[in-house]
């Protein structure tokens, strides 16, 4: 082997060794620098995506909280509106209230009375009897939003107060005519003569018995605390001054006025009574479940 060959072999060996060393260094570089770099890169991208997701969910939550805030303010607004309505109602409750009640009809004057009530947008209560136009007026009263109360079918004192059974037969007869014609079943009753009447004295204790029985059966009965005296022969001026005089000297919150739509002078006095009572700040209501019962002292 000549020297040239030897040198070549040595060079070749050196090249192979340096090749190994380079490869080793490259591997080291990969393991120590490149791989960790890419690992970090992947981690970075992963974290970035996570971050984006979190940001998205934060945005969502923000939107939700904005929606919630909007809902809250809407609820607040609604509540304020309701409070205003309640306040208004309470003012109404505290203001003085008049219940116009008309007994013994319907009659030939009932239509005129309804027209006057319509003119002032006032609702009243009619304690009716079995008159010939009861069916027609039951429908009409319901349509106009007035309250139908039960007075008596026959309005015959010696008949209806002769016994509990007879009283309720009479009342049921009246009630079923109203219900058949108007679909309305009235729970409001006014005794002929009022609960304090003494015309029933021929049957001892009947009023105590009837008033208890009405309450047991779920009825409410209403007497009055202002009498227009129209059934006792008062004329137009007297009816007016009986009612307005009582309303002027009145510290009651509820005024239950007894009138009769069978009387011509009542119809004639009504408009002036309404105008003056409105000017005095009274509110007119018809009897409803919210109406406090006005009761007389029972004498029999
Ligand atoms: Zn009557």
DSSP labels for 119-180? Answer: HTT---EEEEE--TTHHHHHHHHHHHTPEEEEEESS--HHHHTT-HHHHHHHHHHHHHHHHH
Global confidence as pTM: 0.70
Q: What is the distance in A from the centroid of ligand 1 to the CA of 155?
A: 7
The answer to whether 190 touches 293, Cβ cutoff 8 Å, is no
In our burial notation (b when 16+ CB lie closer than 10 A, e otherwise), range 109-122 reads bbebbbebbeeeeb
Cα–Cα distance for residue pair 159/177, rounded to 1 Å: 19
Residue pLDDT, tens place only, 51-106: 999 999 999 998 998 988 888 888 778 877 776 665 555 445 556 999 999 999 99
Contacts 24+ apart (CB under 8 A), 26-29: none
| CA-closest candidate to residue 258, choices 242, 274, 245, 271 | 242
Q: What is the distance in A from the centroid of ligand 1 to the CA of 152?
A: 8
| CA-closest candidate to residue 148, choices 193, 110, 197, 112 | 110
Residue pLDDT, tens place only, 135-161: 999 999 999 999 999 999 999 999 999
Residue pLDDT, tens place only, 263-279: 999 999 999 999 999 99
Q: What is the distance in A from the centroid of ligand 1 to the CA of 193?
A: 6
Q: What is the distance in A from the centroid of ligand 1 to the CA of 156?
A: 9
Q: What is the distance in A from the centroid of ligand 1 to the CA of 174?
A: 14
Q: Where are the domains of the chain?
A: 1-94, 96-285
Instruction: Give Cα 187 distance to the centre of its chain.
Output: 20
Q: Chain-wide mean pLDDT for the chain?
A: 93
Q: What is the number of residues in the chain?
A: 300
Architecture of domain 96-285: Alpha-Beta Barrel (3.20)
pLDDT at 60: 92
Torsions phi, psi of 3, nearest 5? -65, -35
Q: What is the distance in A from the centroid of ligand 1 to the CA of 268?
A: 19
Q: What is the distance in A from the centroid of ligand 1 to the CA of 138?
A: 17
Q: What is the distance in A from the centroid of ligand 1 to the CA of 192?
A: 5
Cα–Cα distance for residue pair 282/146, rounded to 1 Å: 18
Cα–Cα distance for residue pair 252/249, rounded to 1 Å: 9
């Amino acid at each position: 082997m000549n020297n040239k060959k030897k040198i070549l072999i040595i060079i070749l060996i050196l090249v192979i060794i340096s090749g190994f060393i380079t490869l080793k260094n490259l591997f080291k570089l990969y393991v120590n620098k490149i791989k960790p770099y890419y690992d970090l890169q992947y981690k970075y991208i992963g974290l970035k995506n996570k971050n984006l997701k979190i940001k998205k969910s934060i945005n969502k939550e923000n939107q939700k909280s904005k929606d919630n805030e909007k809902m809250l303010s809407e609820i607040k607004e609604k509540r304020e509106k309701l409070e205003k309505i309640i306040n208004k109602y309470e003012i109404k409750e505290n203001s003085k209230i008049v219940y116009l009640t008309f007994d013994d009809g319907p009659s030939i004057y009932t239509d005129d009375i309804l027209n006057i009530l319509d003119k002032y947008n006032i609702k009243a209560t009619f304690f009716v009897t079995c008159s010939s136009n009861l069916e027609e007026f039951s429908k009409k009263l319901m349509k106009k939003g007035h309250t139908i109360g039960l007075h008596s079918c026959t309005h015959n004192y010696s008949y209806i107060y002769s016994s509990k059974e007879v009283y309720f037969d009479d009342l049921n007869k009246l009630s079923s005519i109203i219900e058949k014609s108007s679909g309305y079943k009235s729970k409001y009753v006014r005794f002929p003569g009022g609960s304090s009447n003494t015309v029933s004295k021929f049957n001892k204790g009947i009023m105590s018995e009837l008033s208890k029985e009405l309450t047991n059966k779920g009825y409410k009965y209403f007497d009055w605390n202002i009498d227009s005296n129209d059934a006792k022969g008062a004329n137009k001026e007297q009816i007016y001054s009986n009612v307005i005089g009582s309303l002027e000297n009145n510290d009651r919150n509820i005024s239950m006025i007894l009138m009769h739509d069978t009387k011509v002078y009542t119809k004639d006095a009504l408009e002036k009574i309404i105008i003056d009572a409105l000017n005095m700040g009274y509110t007119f209501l018809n009897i409803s479940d919210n109406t406090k019962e006005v009761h007389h002292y029972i004498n029999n």
